[in-house]
Amino acid sequence: MTQTTSFPKNQIKVLLLEGLHKESVRRIEAEGFHVISEKRAYDEAELLEIIPEIHVLGIRSKTYVSAKAMAKAKRLLSIGAFCIGTNQIDLRAAKIQGVPVFNAPYSNTRSVAELVIAEVIMLARQLFGKISSAHAGEWNKSAAGSMEVRGKTLGIIGYGHIGQQVSVLAEALGMRVLFYDVVDKLTMGNATRVPDLRDLMERSDYVTLHVPGTRDTQGMIGAKQLDWMKSGACLINASRGTVVDIDALAARLKSGRLAGAAIDVFPEEPKSVGDRFSSPLQGLPNVLLTPHIGGSTEEAQRNIGLEVAMKLIRFVNNGSTEGAVNFPNEVLPEMADQHRILHIHQNVPGVLQKVNTLFGEAGINVTGQFLRTYEDVGYLIMDANKNATQKIIRDLKNMPETIKVRALF
């Protein structure tokens, strides 16, 4: 990044909590910010005390940023959630204070896809039983029921980031790929789109779920849908625990109607490492149970760290908000020899006109203008020639619709 902020970089205080990946900390430090890095999460009292001084906050899932904390975060420019979820942050409170929140929703896509492919092969070869019996001292050398995956049909439900990666990897193994999605998706390789869920369930030897956890997908695979599956087929779920009716699945595995399952996500999951986990699927043959580790790899952790660090750095340095979860998304060009004014405002009629009038009256030449809105917040970026002054910033700050103004040069 070549830009500097009007505010000296070494005075931008960045608080990084919860032991972020060392490369992301290093990347942020390399920008010359004043970085405080802690291994642990902060509780609300600790956060309330420090947050008034902080410009950028980086957390994972265990530090809660409440509306109360946001109300005290007078200097806060942005929050980085160095994880997938952002439920730990009051996104609305952040938004109305003009604080974009960034996360890394797709940094672990490949990790999930690789686990799914491994599971398809494990189910096909009944590896769980074979491995367990070898560990128990049994020599169960039989080919009965063990299959190659080549030539078999994999049905993918939800052809998004993960679904598409699974599709590519499965074809490389010689599988036929069908997919079903509610949205029109570009087909990868020779995969075939099917018109409805039933068609996919009836034709697939392995069905894998990659849909989001929404009201529409809750319970989408119940007894009726499981009964559409081929006899002896297998089900894989590494999406969300709410998507599959586990009792209905357990019944069909026990009766032998389905040959196996690999489940990584559950309707109720233990809150912390070490808590007891129980499921009706425990103890069933050819059922792989994993503790929600689809995306848990060293590479994914590193990618998450770098992705969020870069989003924060880009926002501080040039105002880009691409990928913000609670804020207008704007990808901004690198700044040439100019000033950039970032004006975050309430999204009400007439703001653009007022700002343009202020610039016109000041005789400032605008070289680029970008405006994005998200719900009740607007984000206006004005690139101006070098004569943009402190006066214009004062005038902008005095507008009643203004939430925040920042100048970069």
Catalytic sites, residue numbers: 240, 269, 292
Shorter beta-carbon distance to ligand NAI: residue 240 or 345 = 240
Q: Which of 151, 212, 232, 360 binds ligand NAI (CB under 6 A)?
A: 212
**Residues 210 and 183: beta-carbon distance below 8 Å:** no
| Rounded-to-integer distance, Cα 74 and Cα 48, Å | 11
Nearer to ligand NAI (CB atom), residue 201 or residue 341: 201
Indicate whether 208 belongs to the interface with ligand NAI (CB under 6 A): no
Applying CB under 6 A, among 42, 128, 159, 379 the residue interacting with ligand NAI is: 159
Q: Give, for 262, the enclosing helix (H) or strand (E).
A: strand 260-263
Q: Which of residues 353-372 bind ligand NAI (CB under 6 A)?
A: none
Between strands 13-16 and 260-263, the pairing is unpaired
Indicate whether 157 belongs to the interface with ligand NAI (CB under 6 A). Answer: yes
Range list of β-strands (E), 54-195: 56-59, 78-81, 101-102, 153-157, 176-180, 192-193
Which position among 112, 116, 355, 392 is part of the footprint of ligand NAI (CB under 6 A)? 112
According to DSSP, residue 196 is labeled S
3-class SS string, 293-317: CCCCCHHHHHHHHHHHHHHHHHHHH
| Identified binder of ligand NAI from the candidate list 119, 181, 205, 383, rule CB under 6 A | 181
Rounded Cα gap, residues 57 and 37, in angstroms: 10
Residue 268 has phi, psi (to 5 degrees) of -125, 120
Q: Is 182 in the site for ligand NAI (CB under 6 A)?
A: yes
Q: Which amino acid is at 142?
A: S
Question: Using the rule CB under 6 A, is 292 a contact of ligand NAI?
Answer: yes
265 binds ligand NAI (CB under 6 A): yes
Does residue 312 bind ligand NAI (CB under 6 A)?
A: no
User: Which position among 107, 108, 126, 167 is part of the footprint of ligand NAI (CB under 6 A)?
Assistant: 108
Nearer to ligand NAI, 292 or 354 (CB): 292
Which of 80, 295, 328, 378 binds ligand NAI (CB under 6 A)? It is 295
Q: Nearer to ligand NAI by C-beta: 213 or 232?
A: 213
Among candidate residues 102, 104, 85, the one with its CA nearest the CA of residue 324 = 102
How many residues of this chain bind ligand NAI (CB under 6 A)? 31
- Least distance in angstroms from the C-beta of 251 to ligand NAI: 23
On the 0-12 / 13-18 / 19+ scale of CB atoms within 10 A, 150 is exposed
Residue 73 CA to residue 69 CA, distance in Å, equals 6
Q: Which of 138, 148, 216, 376 binds ligand NAI (CB under 6 A)?
A: 216
Binding region for ligand NAI (CB under 6 A): 106, 108-109, 112, 157-163, 180-183, 185, 210-213, 216-217, 220, 238-240, 264-265, 292, 294-295
